[in-house]
């Protein structure tokens, strides 16, 4: 028996490959399915099932493409009603995979169709449980993402309490937990950086699994500190439930190389968004006017999802040479299927062609300290999450979280100068680029963010408070 966790850091997402005696299953695959198929082929195994723990909200799964290309059966737990062919398993149903078994555990709470999959080895021993978003390491899935009618977040949290206590906490202590996400995902509020653990340890350290916890206490603790989910979540859940274009079609559409003239024409003739995916510091030195920067080497897909409200938005890409297909693929992971081409030769080609350019002023933390000392009343915008700001911030700074950049925009006076920072410099450049594209010309980016500010020792910051949520 082989069990592999395939963890994708930028989405904080865990997919799983399980193989036994020439048969394999994939659990919660990402949108691009070629790597799973190649993995099975390399091992001489046939993918028999694609197991979906629920209708994911934070990414588009590859279940439909994978089933089409391999003949595998898509499996959901009870109550799921997808708009495509799938096997809806009953609670407790056992699926055979080679010499091992997978038992379906219906665990409503995160969503009503949420299910976990218990892996039983060749000897009949319970080995591991794939928990999706029902149970994370040190956390549980938030119960506010599938609210509908009378099914409030409190009702869902109550279901989750029952599911955990009847189906998960009753498993043997040695059973390995393989969750759907780790730290950085918005599907929980305070997950661990660890991506696996065992039942016995989680019963000791996970706040949601306390043995003496009442249902009311659980509901209260689970829903406290939740922030509004990113706007793309319901749209991704809809795609996962109703279907989507093949990833091959998306790549064909998106990977069209455009000369600087053709790129400019496409930008003028369509309402496409110009998305520059280079490093923030490279973007600052020079970029195409009105483009926005969301660096590929960061939490790219989640920030695209959070900041571009329409998943059908046409997109033109400016990327590092050779990474264009990666960008199109990673956009498709969160449902942005309408990339219509990329700038051939990247920004350098645009510059060489003599096209109009722009730049954003950035300063080191030392320069920031000098300007702050010279004028302690300068405007400082901290674009980190509310929870991060509450934990520690420069005295006098104003919190304008990137998550709510449209609201933040109204707090910024176009005629005043602002120094903008985040935790490390990634989010502040996104914030600055969005506002720059909307005509805000007096924003200065502080390199290195809060980390550099703290280490400089040149600023008065508030006393550190341990955050209760990472949302």
3-state secondary structure string, 272-301?
CEEEECCCHHHHHHCECCCCEECCCCCCHH
Mean pLDDT of 149-163: 96
Chain-centroid distance, C-alpha 10: 7
Judge whether 65 and 33 are in contact, CB under 8 Å: yes
pLDDT in tens, 303-361: 999 999 999 999 999 999 999 999 999 999 999 999 999 999 999 999 999 999 999 99
Parallel, antiparallel, or unpaired for β 339-343 and 315-318? parallel
Q: What are phi and psi of 174, to 5 degrees?
A: -80, -10
On whether the CB atoms of residues 199 and 171 are closer than 8 A, the answer is yes
% of the chain exceeding 90 in pLDDT: 93
The SS3 of residue 312 is: coil
- 25-to-1, 20, 72, 86, 153 alpha-carbon distances in Å: 11, 9, 9, 15, 32
| Element (DSSP H or E) covering residue 201 | helix 199-205
447-460 tens-digit pLDDT: 999 999 999 999 99
pLDDT tens column, 216-257: 999 999 999 898 888 899 999 999 999 999 999 999 999 999
Concatenated DSSP letters of 40-55: HHHTT-EEEEEE-SS-
Q: Which residues in 176-247 belong to E strands, given as ranges?
A: 176-179, 197-198
Tell me the whole-structure pTM to 2 decimals. Answer: 0.93
- Res 76 pLDDT > 80: yes
Band of pLDDT at residue 95, cut at 50, 70 and 90? very high
Sign of CA dihedral 391, 396, 402, 408: positive
pLDDT at residue 149 in the model: 84
Q: Which tokens go with 465? A: 């408070």
Q: Which residue has the tokens 């674009």?
A: 383
pLDDT at 75 over 80: yes
Q: Answer for the pair 93, 141: CB distance below 8 angstroms, yes or no.
A: no
Q: Left (φ > 0), alpha (ψ -120 to 50) or beta: where does 129 sit? A: beta
370: Cβ contacts below 8 Å, ≥ 6 apart: none
pLDDT band of residue 467 (cuts 50, 70, 90) is: confident
**If you ran DSSP here, which 8-state letter would residue 228 be given?**
P
Locate 235 and state its tokens. 């749209």
> In whole angstroms, what is the distance from residue 339 CA to residue 225 CA?
35
How sure is the predictor about 27, in pLDDT bands with cuts at 50, 70 and 90? very high
User: In Å, how far are 148, 182, 236 from 144, measured between CA atoms?
Assistant: 9, 18, 15
Q: How far apart are CA 42 and CA 361, in angstroms?
A: 50
């Amino acid at each position: 028996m082989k069990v592999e966790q395939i963890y994708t850091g930028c989405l904080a997402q865990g997919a799983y490959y399980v193989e036994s005696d020439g048969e394999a299953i994939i659990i919660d695959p990402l949108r691009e399915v070629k790597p799973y198929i190649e993995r099975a082929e390399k091992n001489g195994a046939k993918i028999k099932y694609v197991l979906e723990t629920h209708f994911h909200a934070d990414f588009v799964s590859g279940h439909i493409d994978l089933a089409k290309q391999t003949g595998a059966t898509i499996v959901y737990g009870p109550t799921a009603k997808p708009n495509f062919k799938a096997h809806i398993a009953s609670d407790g149903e056992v699926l055979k995979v080679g010499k091992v078994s997978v038992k379906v555990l219906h665990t409503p709470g995160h969503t009503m169709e949420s299910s976990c999959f218990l892996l039983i080895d060749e000897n009949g021993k319970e080995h591991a449980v794939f928990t999706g978003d029902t149970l994370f390491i040190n956390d549980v899935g938030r119960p506010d993402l599938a609210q509908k009618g009378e099914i409030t977040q409190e009702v869902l949290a109550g279901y989750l309490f029952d599911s955990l206590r009847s189906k998960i906490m009753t498993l043997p202590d040695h059973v390995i937990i393989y969750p759907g996400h780790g730290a950085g995902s918005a599907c929980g509020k305070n997950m661990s950086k660890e991506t696996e653990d065992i039942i016995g340890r989680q019963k000791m350290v996970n706040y949601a699994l306390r043995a003496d916890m009442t249902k009311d206490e659980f509901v209260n603790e689970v829903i406290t500190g939740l922030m509004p989910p990113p706007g793309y979540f319901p749209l991704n859940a809809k795609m996962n439930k109703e279907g989507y274009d093949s990833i091959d079609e998306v790549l064909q559409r998106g990977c069209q190389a455009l000369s600087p003239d053709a790129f400019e024409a496409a930008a003028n003739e369509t309402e496409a968004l110009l998305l520059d995916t280079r490093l923030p510091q490279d973007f600052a030195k020079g970029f195409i006017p009105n483009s926005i920067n969301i660096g590929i080497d960061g939490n790219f897909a989640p920030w695209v999802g959070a900041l571009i409200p329409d998943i059908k938005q046409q997109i033109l890409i400016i990327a590092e040479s050779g990474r264009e297909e990666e960008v199109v693929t990673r956009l498709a992971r969160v449902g942005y299927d309408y990339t219509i081409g990329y700038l051939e030769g990247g920004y350098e080609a645009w510059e060489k062609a003599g096209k109009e350019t722009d730049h954003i002023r950035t300063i080191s933390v030392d320069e920031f300290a000098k300007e702050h000392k010279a004028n302690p009343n300068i405007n400082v915008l901290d674009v980190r999450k509310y929870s991060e700001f509450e934990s520690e911030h420069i005295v006098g700074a104003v919190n304008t979280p990137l998550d709510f950049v449209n609201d933040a925009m109204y707090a910024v006076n176009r005629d005043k100068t602002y120094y903008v920072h985040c935790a490390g410099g990634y989010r502040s450049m996104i914030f600055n680029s969005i506002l720059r594209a909307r005509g805000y010309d007096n924003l200065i980016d502080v390199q290195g963010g809060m980390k550099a500010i703290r280490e400089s020792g040149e600023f008065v910051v508030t006393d550190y408070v341990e955050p209760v949520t990472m949302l």
